[in-house]
Amino acid sequence: MAYEETVNRLRSSFREGKTRPLQFRISQLKALNKFVEENKEQILESLKKDMKKPLFEVELSEFSLLKSEINLALNNLTTWTADEHVSKNLVTALDSAFIRKEPFGVVLIISPWNYPVNLSLIPLVGAIAAGNCAVLKPSEMSQNTEKLLADGLSRYLDKDCFAVVLAGVEGTTRLLENKFDYIFFTGSPNVGRIIMMAAAKHLTPVTLELGGKNPCYVHDECDIKNAARRIAWARYFNAGQICLAPDYVLCSDHIKEKLLSELQSSIHEFYGEDPKQSPDFARIISVQHFKRVSALLACGKIVTGGQTDESEKYIAPTILVDVKESDPVMQEEIFGPILPILTVSGFDEAINFINDREKPLAAYVFSSNSQVSSCCVCDMS
């Protein structure tokens, strides 16, 4: 079986108990931190080559999140791993009763390309902290970062306990034939189904961190300028390739024009006259994704942006209006710098619109009316 040797090597280290001692876990977490610190320039360079990731975005969304996760684990490892007292009942009256946190064994981490450092290494922090051996399978789409992780981690982490597998769809399919003790997958719902089926063969527990269409409701009573700045920031960060990005906006006809104008001002303020020249605006990861996202520009009417350049995989920050619910842009997660604005009569229609669709990863509500924001929490199913 493909990759059997790698999995077996890790499994024997796990069986020997190599990853269990706290000192080992601490040393590996510190080694991971050292890898990031000593290779910062190379990481920045590979993220730039992969998708022209802006410097500030890398600092915020890759480095700082990862470093705080490593610190969180280092600071809490002793508490997290300590036995937990439980009260006894009739059945356990004669026993010593406690909860001991056991590592799973050899875990598989499959990560996506949009935050290829953070979404590969944060799950790895968890795996190390919990005393597991781990195989990391980064995305082949972010190919420069993928190779940097494979090369770097093999120099900093214990090779008998941690491995990076470079594989596309075919290779990952073969990798998944092996028995893992836990699978942590981040990616699309379609691939999530494939992972779950492969895991089911071995009854392997899984965590699936998936995507979806995140609605954004802007209520008539709200600070529209503030809402627009926040929506534009989150929609166009990483050129919209974020699982938690606001995917579409719902608002009433009454505030639509004002919201549009504030969104346009925000785009101008953030990315200047020509966003293509802005050092703060990323590119689409691949030609295949460029084509998929560009095709969505045919939906409704473009009021801002719409410019594309395939040679650079550039799609301008775009706003669409007059979009129909049946349009392709409303059928799939956009995962690109396009923001459709749809009108609803008010709060109740917005809630029904959202509840009629698949459960999103997040829903954003902008309102200065506390009753509206608290109602949203109760009414969204």
Alpha-carbon span 30 to 71, nearest angstrom: 9
Residues lying near ligand NAD in the complex (CB under 6 A) are found at 110-114, 119, 137, 139-141, 169, 172-173, 186-188, 191, 194, 209-211, 243, 333, 335, 361
Residue closer to ligand NAD by CB (options 207, 343) is 207
Listed residue (210, 183, 214, 228) closest to 114, CA to CA: 210
CB of 211 to ligand NAD, least distance (A): 2
Alpha-carbon span 381 to 376, nearest angstrom: 9
Alpha-carbon span 378 to 381, nearest angstrom: 8
Residue closer to ligand NAD by CB (options 15, 193) is 193
Per DSSP (E only), the strands in 61-167 are 84-85, 98-99, 106-110, 133-137, 162-164
CB of 118 to ligand NAD, least distance (A): 9
Residue closer to ligand NAD by CB (options 113, 366) is 113
CB of 303 to ligand NAD, least distance (A): 25
Residue closer to ligand NAD by CB (options 172, 367) is 172
46 by DSSP, 3-state: which? helix
CB of 246 to ligand NAD, least distance (A): 13
Residue with the CB atom nearest ligand NAD in the bound state:
211
Residue closer to ligand NAD by CB (options 137, 219) is 137
**Chain centroid, CA 376 distance in Å:** 24
Alpha-carbon span 315 to 293, nearest angstrom: 8
Please report, for residues 46, 60, 80, 143, 283, the alpha-carbon distance to residue 280 in angstroms, rounded to integers and kept in the order given: 16, 13, 39, 21, 10
* Residue carrying structure tokens 């995140």: 214
**Chain centroid, CA 204 distance in Å:** 22
CB of 196 to ligand NAD, least distance (A): 11
- Catalytic option among 45, 140, 177, 209: 209
First to last CA, the chain: 44
Catalytic annotation on 209?
A: yes
Alpha-carbon span 163 to 109, nearest angstrom: 10
Residue 35 is given by DSSP the state H
Residues assigned a catalytic role: 209
